[in-house]
Structure 1
Amino acid sequence: MGPLTPEQRRRRWMALAIVALAYILSFFQRFAPAGIAQDLAAAFQTSAASLGVLAATYFYIYTLMQIPTGILADTLGPRRILALGGIIGGLGSLLFGFAPTLDLALVGRTLVGLGVSVTFIAMLKLVAVWFEENRFATIVGICMLVGNLGSVLAGAPLSAMAQATGWRGVFIGVGVISLALGVLCWLIVRDAPTATGEAVRPRFDRTVVLSSLLAVIRNRATWPAALVNTGMSGSFFTFAGLWATPYLMQVHGMERSTAANHLSLWFGGFAVGCLFIGGLSDRLGRRKPVMIAVSHLYVAIWLLLLSCVTMPLSLSYLLFALLGLSTAGFSLTWACAKEVNPPLLSGMSTSVANMGGFLCAAIMQPVVGWLMDLGWHGEMVGGARVYDVGTWQNGVLAVTLCAALGAAASWRIRETRCRNIWQAA
């Protein structure tokens, strides 16, 4: 990439700021069910398995959209798909907020997942096109830090707002903001630093697109990064996206506000970790050792959660902050996938690496709920089911095994020394 003019530099930061705001909403929508799980269970009189399906609907559609989004980012460009995504996601959030039944809530969550599914891959494409290659992980880390404000808001702040004003009003407001950001993406974002704003990209030709996608999928170096992402982000999305708050309340006897504070610490640690780990990897000029270290620390913390051991509150807070920092390790998987594939296909390569975690969460959230329902003894509090420690351990074990998969795959990551090492055959 050649040097940018001052106007182009200004435009890239403006565009990135708008997309980062959309990414905040994406993270908020992803983790919001955890902060209001008890409210949703009571509002729709649902079991753990049905609640898992409601939360997982977002992840199902998000997973299905990852490869199409990568293709669209490389062909149509980020601007168009970001604008359309903001509108669809906004309408879905409005429907979810107004939904009188579980069925309509499911439709709303599906539209939300469809709308926000394009945000991250489009953001990665913008960073890949507008910024220098050796700054990719650092810039993505900054975006993750900002985006994670949404997950932090989905913890204690959402819980407090839901108790004060009701959860429906929150999602209606988020829907309006999403619609506004969709319009801003169309007005401000440009696909590339060229005179026309149009990027050089593959022709929108089915044969070209499929051959490009197959090239990424057939590249064996793509898959270790995808598996690390599957294990680490899949376990993160599964538990933090729905089960963390009920787990802390029912296993450790915490008040709802205290449990929500733990969730916010997890998200906050993740936000800081994305910035720190991406920057550390870029400065060291290494990907693999950093990935191995954080993924194994992540599994160790999950083993503590699985034990359900009682600990002082201060130590519990520290553990969740550390959990957040280690969770951020999977943010390197996008750089790892991008750097072993053709630069022109950065959208497809990052989307392939990214889809595993969402697929894992889509499957695991209902599975964890099903495991919980198997051990339920009929106890109800405030219209929501209550589970004993042994039942919770069954659910947490399934999530811990996902985390272990990610750690095992980290040993197969190909070291790129933070540069693109793809070679044409």
Structure 2
Amino acid sequence: MTHPAPTAPGLMGTRQALVLFLVFAWAYFLSALVRAVTATLAPTLTTDLGLSPGDLGLLAGAYFFGFAVMQLPLGRWLDRFGPRRVLVAFLAVAVAGCAAFALAGGFAGLTLARALIGAGVSACLMAPLTGFRRWFSPTQQLRANSWMLMTGSLGMLASTLPVQWLLPLTGWRGLFWLLGLCLVLSIVALWWLVPRDEPVAVPPPGEGTAPREGYAAIWRNPNFRRYAGLGFVNYGGMIALQTLWIGPWLVNVAGWSPAASAGGLFIVNAAMLVTFLTWGLVMPRLQARGWSAARLITVGAPWSLAVLGMNLLLGVHATAWAWALYCVSCTFMALAQPLVGQAFPTHLAGRALSAYNLVIFAGVFAMQWGIGLAVDLGHALGLDTLNAYRLALGLYGLLGVWAYWGHWRSAREACSPPAQVSAE
């Protein structure tokens, strides 16, 4: 049974909104789990397949490559067909990717399957955010966005100790068969419980942004460009660390066992879950007191760079709690996504959100693979493991400083009053 979708923000009843959120949240939970599971599986896959750090980065990054490639067509399809049909179709691709990963016989097959999974789950956040843009008020969107990210943190939490406990029973191949089955259940729930997709009113040319402008209008928008650098380098790099490199750091640098590393990743993702839950609770109050999301990003983003520098100085003593603090300090930048969606009319919301997601996940792919290559470079230069990781993450930190400087300059220009021209 399907239900008609509301046509204006705020018209959805509480019960219907809760059902909608939970169904979308289940799909996003699974996408986050399959995204982050490589951090827990890294020791097992490295042993089974003999992977170097660069190989491991490419295998994990293939997910984000497939994810990023789909973002631009995804945005158009979300605006044209609506979130329900698009997400169901994409999740069917993810099911095929999980089956291919479970059946793969070598590194090349695993990498291709990983890219297919990434492409398939690439709508799991953009589809609900597009729906929220249509159906919820701006304040409700910020809260729903934070709680969707909290759900993602719950999925990443499930990718740590629970996966480590399951591995002796299922093996990594059986784990991906189980994930595929869970995705099938998500497809059924979406089809039956999410409101049917209805066309969104599009203004004629001359009234706002014409639809034929498409992505050109989005890329030119100053609000979009203001957050692009932070999304690509700083937030994308945080996800790269959270979903891959914190695990190898704990094993190779801090000297933890794979089981202890999984426990450490559990701590990191639990901290992220609590943080996003808190953001959802406090954002309406902060906004009422004049702390807009844009202001919070500008003031809060530099803290992540300071914590990264501290962790590199700590070296072997930078364990799970230190990296949890780093990831938590990066969550200020998660507030940018609803700001980007709100900067565009409803009929362009899917494209705007997907374009920004492309920026983020292209950054994840670049940082995830780049960090692995930089670690390999450090080893080739004769550095020990600690200093090879310091080299890689130090280069990433310098890129983060450059990206924040660009954001700060853009935000300052936006707040500056226009220059006055005196008559002579």
Inter-partner Cα distance in structure 1 for 2:297 and 2:174:
40
Q: Is the 8 A contact 2:315 2:386 kept in 1?
A: no
> % of aligned pairs identical?
25
Q: Residue 289 of structure 1 corresponds to which residue in structure 2?
A: 295
* Aligned position for 1:120: 125
Paired residues of 2:311 and 2:322 also in contact (CA < 8 A): no
1:402 Cα offset (Å): 4.0
CA displacement at 1:279 relative to structure 2: 4.2
1:49-70 per-residue CA deviation (whole Å, 9 max, x = no partner) reads 1221111111111111122212
Conserved? CA contact 2:133–2:341, under 8 Å: no
Pair 1:210–1:60, CA change in 2 (3 A): farther
Return the letter of the residue paired with 2:11.
Answer: L
Give 3-state SS (helix, strand or coil) of 1:146's partner.
helix
Q: Which residue of 2 aligns with 1:376?
A: 379
Alpha-carbon distance in 1 for matches of 2:397, 2:282 = 26
Match of 1:232 in 2: 234
- Is 1:309 aligned to 2:312, yes or no? no
**1:4 corresponding residue in structure 2:** 11
Shift of 1:25: 0.9
Task: Select 2:261's aligned residue among 259, 262, 274.
Answer: 259
Please give the per-residue CA displacement for 1:285-342, whole angstroms capped at 9, x wherever unaligned.
212231123311111111122224344xxx8444333223222222211122123222
Distance 1:415 1:346, change over 3 A: farther
Question: Which residue number corresponds to residue 382 of structure 1?
Answer: none
In 2, are the aligned partners of 1:228 and 1:333 still within 8 Å (CA)?
Answer: no
Q: Greater shift after overlay, 169-178 or 256-265? A: 256-265
Counterpart residue type for residue 228 of structure 1: L
C-alpha displacement at 1:405, in angstroms?
4.2
CA offset at residue 208 of structure 1? 6.1
TM-score relative to the length of structure 1 = 0.86
CA distance 1:231–1:374, shift in 2 (3 Å):
closer
Displacement of 1:154 in angstroms is 1.6
Contact 1:155–1:263 (CA under 8 A) maintained in structure 2 = yes
Provide, for residues 244-292 of structure 1, a one-character-per-residue CA deviation record: whole Å limited to 9, x for no partner: 1111112111222322222222222222222323543432221223112
Distance in 2 (alpha carbons) for counterparts of 1:74 and 1:146? 24
Pair 415,120 (structure 1): closer, same or farther in 2 beyond 3 Å: farther
**Structure 2 counterparts to residues 41-190 of structure 1, below 5 A:** 41-163=46-168, 165-190=170-195
Q: 118-127 or 141-150, which moves further after superposition?
A: 141-150
2:213 to 211, 214, 230: 211
**Paired residue secondary structure (1:4):** coil
Q: Deviations over 1:27-62 (max 9, x none)?
A: 111111111111111222222212211111111111
In 1, Cα distance between the equivalents of 2:198 and 2:70?
Answer: 23
1:422 paired residue number = none
Q: Cα deviation per residue 1:352-387 (whole Å; 9 max; x = unaligned)? A: 2222221112122222222222343799xxxxxx96
Residue 249, structure 1, aligned to residue 255, structure 2: no
For residues 227 and 272 of structure 1, the distance between their equivalents in structure 2, rounded to whole angstroms, comes to 26
Change (3 A) 1:350 1:253: same
**Contact 1:271/1:328, CA 8 A, preserved across alignment:** no
Partner of 1:420: none
Structure 1 residue 163 displacement after superposition: 4.6
Query: For residues 118 and 235 of structure 1, do their structure 2 counterparts lie closer, same or farther at Cα, with a shift above 3 Å needed?
Result: same
2:348 is the counterpart of 1:345: yes
For the pair 1:27 / 2:32, whether they are aligned, the reply is yes
Unaligned runs of at least 5 residues, structure 2: 1-7, 204-208, 415-424
CA distance in 2, matches of 1:248, 1:21: 29
Q: For residues 2 and 171 of structure 1, what CA distance do their matches in structure 2 show?
A: 38
Q: How far apart are residue 97 of structure 1 and its match?
A: 1.8
CA 1:359–1:98 in 2, change beyond 3 Å: closer, same or farther? same
Q: Which runs of 5+ in 1 are unaligned?
A: 192-196, 380-385, 417-425
Deviation (angstroms), 1:122: 0.4
